[in-house]
């Protein structure tokens, strides 16, 4: 559970295979080919990038940040990748999450 004002450091490792094409891969920063998908949760963010949302709130980009991010709301923190179809994905991002509670 996250509270507005908490700061969260995400440390992702790994790689996602985005489709059946051998070179269609992504790190936490997104597609290694630089592609985007119009129907993804965040169309302006690279496909496959690590994203989050709190509860039913709007998604926000995480990527491969090296500084803690301020959290925009209260509720459960959900992590995922920015893709319109995850059923053809393989691989994984393993994400270490460190929460510093706001005051």
Q: What is the pLDDT of residues 11-66, one digit of tens each?
A: 999 999 999 999 999 999 999 999 999 999 999 999 999 999 999 999 999 999 88
Length of the chain: 103
Q: What is the per-residue pLDDT for 102? A: 79
Q: Which residues contact 66 (CB under 8 A, 6 or more apart)?
A: none
Contact 32, 18 (CB under 8 A): no
Kindly indicate the confidence band of residue 97, based on its pLDDT and cuts at 50, 70 and 90.
Answer: very high
Report, in angstroms and rounded to the nearest whole number, the Rg of the chain calculated over CA atoms.
Answer: 14
32 Rama sector, left if φ>0, alpha if ψ -120 to 50, beta otherwise: alpha
| Tokens linked to 25 | 């891969």
**Domains of the chain with bracketed CATH:** 7-100 (2.60.120.430)
């Amino acid at each position: 559970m996250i509270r507005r004002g908490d700061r969260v450091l995400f440390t992702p490792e790994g790689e996602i295979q985005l489709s059946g094409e051998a070179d269609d891969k992504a790190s936490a920063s997104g597609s290694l080919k630089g592609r985007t998908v119009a129907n993804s949760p965040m169309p302006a963010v690279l496909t496959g990038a690590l994203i989050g949302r709190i509860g039913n709130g709007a998604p926000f980009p995480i990527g491969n940040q090296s500084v803690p991010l301020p959290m925009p709301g209260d509720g459960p923190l959900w992590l995922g990748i920015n893709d319109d179809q995850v059923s053809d994905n393989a691989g994984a991002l393993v994400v270490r999450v460190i929460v510093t509670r706001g005051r």
